[in-house]
Amino acid sequence: MTNQTTLKHQILYRRGSELIRVTSPHQNAIRFEAFPGGELFEENFTLLPVEQPAQVEEGDRCLVLHAGTLSLKLEENGKITVSDQGRILLEEKPELTFEDGYRHYEDRENGRFLARITFKPNPDEQFFGMGHEAHGCLNLKGCSIDLRQINAKCTIPYYYSSLGYGFIWNNPGIGLAELGTNRTRWTARLTRKIDFVVLTGTPAQACETLADLTGHAPVMPHWATGFWQSRLRYESQEELLRVARRYHRENIPLSAIVCDYFHWTEQGDYRFNPELWPDIPAMTKELHENGVRLVVSMWPTVNEKSENYAYLKEHGLLIRTRDKTGVVFHFYGPQAEINVTNPETRSFVFRKLKENYLDLGVDELWFDVAEPEIHPERFDTLTFHKGPGEEVALLYPYCYTQMAYEGIKSVRDEEPVTLVRCAYLGSQKYGALVWSGDIPSTFDSLRAQVKSGLNMSLCGIPWWNTDIGGFYGGDTTDPTFRELMVRWFQYGVFSPVMRLHGSRRRHHEPTPGLIEPSGDPNEIWSFGEENYRILRDLIFLRERLRPYIDQAMVQASVKGHPVMRPMFFDFPDDPACYLQDEQYMFGPDILFSPIVRAGQTKKKVYLPAGEWILTRDRSEWGPGTYEVDAKTDEFIAFVKKGASVLSCF
C-alpha cells in the first residue's frame, strides 16, 4: 500500500486528506483514529492508553495490525475490519454505493468536522451498556441512543457485545449511536477525529480491560455501603437532626443523612443559610457521635446575587454563551454555571466548598445538576474551557467529580464518595457515586431502573444507585405507592448503595418564607406501620450483608467487576442468561429477582447451572425456570449452595 508509514507497534496511513492511525493501547485491544483534516490531534480525553507491542503486516492491498487475538485490517480503499482469531467482530459498511465511500465527514469551522462511521449489522448480536437511560431495554440492539447528558440519562459511550468484545467510542462530543438492525453507526456532530477502541474477552475480562483503560474505582469506604436517608428536603438544622435522632433512638442503622438543595443563601454562595442552619459544627458533631455522616448538595448554578458571581465572571470561570449573557438555566431567576472543565474554576470553587462545608464537619458532597442542566439544551451555543460545547460537553460531569475528588484528597487521606447525577468514561476513578436522576415514582419506572442499572454496571462505573421510591409523584398515603416503596426498598438492599430519597406529594401547607419548601416526610416510618416494620427489617438485612458487599467493592476496585451485573456476566456461556433483564447477580453468590409490577406476588425466575438455595426457606433448587412466590413483604433471592453469605438471611 502506498501513503503508509509503519512505525514501531502502529500504522499511519494517508488516504486523500484523511490520516489514519492504528495502535494497541492495551493487551487484546486495538485503537483506531481517523483525522479528517490530515493532521494528528494528540488527545486521549479520559482514556489512559499504554502502548503495547503489536505486529504489523502488509497484505494484498491492505495493512493488518495484530494485538493479542485481535486484528484490524485496513484496506487500500479505507475500509476496516476487526476480527478476533479470524472471527469478524466489526466490518465497516460504505457510506456510498461505490467501494471507497468509507467514513463520512462534513467540514465545520476551525478544523472541526461532523464525522461518522458505519458498520455492517450482525442479526445475532446483542449490545449492553451505554450508561443509564429509562428506555426499558437491557439489550440495546435496535436502539438509537443520543450521545448527550440530561437529567435521568447518563451517556457512557461504551457497549459490550454478545459476540465477546467491547467498544469504546472515545469522543466526548454530542452525537448519536445507532445500534440498529440495518447498521451500527456512530456520529459526532463536532470533532477533530474519529476515535474508538475495540477490546475482547468475556464480560469479566472486558470489564477488567475497561478499568485499565479508563481508571479503577477506589475501594468504597465501609460507611457508604450502609443505609442513606434523604428527602426533598430538610428545611432546617433542627429538622434534619430530629430525623437522625429518631433513627438513633430506635436503634436503626444509619450511615448517612443527606442535606438537599436550597439550604444555601444564594445559588453560587456554597454556604448554609445561617438563619435555618445556625451551628453546623454542633450538628455534625452530634451526627458523628451517632455514627452518621453528613452529605450536602451543591449545584453548579450561580446567579448575579451570589457573593462569588463577580469573581467567577471576571476571571472567566463560567460557561460562556453565544449571546454573551452567560445565562444557561432559569431556576428562581437567571443562572450561569461554573465551567468545571477549567482547572482554575475547580480550584476556586473547591476552596469555597472546603471553607463553608468540609471545614465545618460536612463529610461528603452531592454534586447535583451535573450534566450540566441547561435550558434550552443547545450545546452548540456554549463554550467550555476544553472547547466548543458540541465537541466536549460529555466531559462536564467527569470534571465536576474530579473537582471534589482532587480537592478532598488534598486535605484528607480517606477516599471521597461524591454523589453525582451524571458521569462519563473514567468518572469512577474520582469516586463517583452515580444515581439515575429525577425519575417518576411508578412501577414502570422501577422496572426501567433495573435494566438501566445493569447496563450502567458494564460501563466501568460500579458505584450506582436510584432514589428508592422514585423522585417525583409519590403520595405517601396511597396504597399503591406504599407497595411500590416496599418493592423498591427490596431492590435498594441489592443495589451498590442503598439510598432513600424523593419529593413526596405535600399534604401540608408549605413553610412560609422559603424559596423551596419540602414535600411530605420520606423516612421509613412515613409509609404506614406495616411498611415501617418491613423497611426496618430490610435495613437490618442490608447491615448483615455489608461484609459481603465490602468484598464485592474490593473486586470492583481491583478488577473492575461490577457489584450488580447482568446474569451473563457470571454465566457467559449460557445463551439464556443474555435474555434475563429483570434479574441479576449481586456479587458472585446472590441471584436477585426484584418484583417490579403492582400487585405481583409470583414471578418466573431463571436459575443457571449449579445448585441454588432460596434464602427465604433454605429450599434447594436446580437449574431451570420456575415460578416463585413473593408476597409483598417477601423478596426473591437465591444464593449459590455453599456460599457463606446465606447466613445473612
Instruction: Give the SS3 label for residue 485.
Output: helix
User: Is residue 75 exposed (0-12), middle (13-18) or buried (19+ Cβ within 10 Å)?
Assistant: buried
Could you say which DSSP state residue 457 is in?
H
Predicted confidence at residue 4, as pLDDT, reads 65
Predicted confidence (pLDDT) per residue in 111-120, tens digit? 999 999 999 9
Domain boundaries, the chain: 4-201, 225-299+343-368+392-559, 566-648
pLDDT of residue 3 exceeding 80: no
Q: Rounded to an integer, what distance in angstroms lies between the CA atom of residue 145 and that of residue 165?
A: 19
The fold for domain 225-299+343-368+392-559 equals TIM Barrel (3.20.20)
Burial 500-526 (b: 16+ CB within 10 A, else e): bbbbbbeeeeeeeeeeebbbbebbbbb
Q: Rounded to an integer, what distance in angstroms lies between the CA atom of residue 476 and that of residue 455?
A: 30
Instruction: Give the SS3 label for residue 640.
Output: strand
Q: In what order do the strands lie in the sheet with 165-169?
A: 4-7, 10-15, 18-26, 29-35, 194-200, 165-169, 153-161, 127-133
Q: Rounded to an integer, what distance in angstroms lies between the CA atom of residue 348 and that of residue 156?
A: 28
Question: What is the mean predicted confidence (pLDDT) over 305-326?
Answer: 97
Q: What counts of helices (H) and strands (E) characterise the chain? A: 11, 40
Instruction: Could you list the beta-strand ranges (E) of 574-635.
Output: 584-586, 590-593, 602-607, 612-614, 620-621, 624-629
Helix 280-289 to helix 237-249 angle (10° resolution) is: 10
Predicted confidence at residue 230, as pLDDT, reads 98
Q: The whole model's pTM is what?
A: 0.97
Predicted confidence at residue 389, as pLDDT, reads 98
* pLDDT band at residue 5 under the 50/70/90 scheme: low
Q: Rounded to an integer, what distance in angstroms lies between the CA atom of residue 319 and that of residue 400?
A: 13
Predicted confidence (pLDDT) per residue in 471-500, tens digit? 999 999 999 999 999 999 999 999 999 999
Intrachain domains 4-201 and 566-648 with the same fold: yes
The fold for domain 566-648 equals Immunoglobulin-like (2.60.40)
Q: Catalytic residue, from 304, 380, 438, 550: name it.
A: 438
In the numeric block, the cell 447528558 is attached to: 149
Predicted confidence (pLDDT) per residue in 408-450, tens digit? 999 999 999 999 999 999 999 999 999 999 999 999 999 999 9
Predicted confidence at residue 9, as pLDDT, reads 85
Instruction: Could you list the beta-strand ranges (E) of 269-385.
Output: 293-298, 301-302, 320-321, 329-330, 334-337, 364-367, 382-384
Predicted confidence at residue 2, as pLDDT, reads 61
Determine the Cα angle at 339 with ends 397 and 258, to 5°.
50
Q: Catalytic residue, from 18, 75, 212, 371: name it.
A: 371
Predicted confidence (pLDDT) per residue in 265-292, tens digit? 999 999 999 999 999 999 999 999 999 9
CATH 2.60.40.1760 fits 4-201, yes or no: yes
Q: Rounded to an integer, what distance in angstroms lies between the CA atom of residue 567 and that of residue 574?
A: 9
Q: Rounded to an integer, what distance in angstroms lies between the CA atom of residue 593 and that of residue 580?
A: 10
Helix 396-409 to helix 343-356 angle (10° resolution) is: 50
The percent of residues above 90 in pLDDT, for the chain, comes to: 97
Assess whether 371 carries a catalytic annotation: yes
pLDDT of residue 512 exceeding 90: yes
How many Cα atoms are found within 13 Å in the side-chain-facing hemisphere of 189? 17
Assess whether 100 carries a catalytic annotation: no
523 phi-psi bin (left φ>0, alpha ψ -120 to 50, beta other)? beta
pLDDT of residue 51 exceeding 90: no
Q: What is the mean pLDDT of the chain?
A: 97
pLDDT of residue 8 exceeding 90: no
Could you say which DSSP state residue 150 is in?
B
Q: Rounded to an integer, what distance in angstroms lies between the CA atom of residue 436 and that of residue 100?
A: 43
279 with 251: CB under 8 angstroms? Answer: no
Q: Rounded to an integer, what distance in angstroms lies between the CA atom of residue 80 and that of residue 32?
A: 9
CA distances from 365 to 262, 291, 293, 432, 516 (A): 14, 17, 11, 11, 20
52 phi-psi bin (left φ>0, alpha ψ -120 to 50, beta other)? beta
Predicted confidence (pLDDT) per residue in 448-469, tens digit? 999 999 999 999 999 999 999 9
Sign, CA dihedral 638-639-641-647, equals: negative
* pLDDT band at residue 7 under the 50/70/90 scheme: low
Phi, psi of 199 (to 5 degrees): -130, 160
Phi, psi of 398 (to 5 degrees): -60, -50
Q: Catalytic residue, from 18, 133, 266, 368: name it.
A: 368
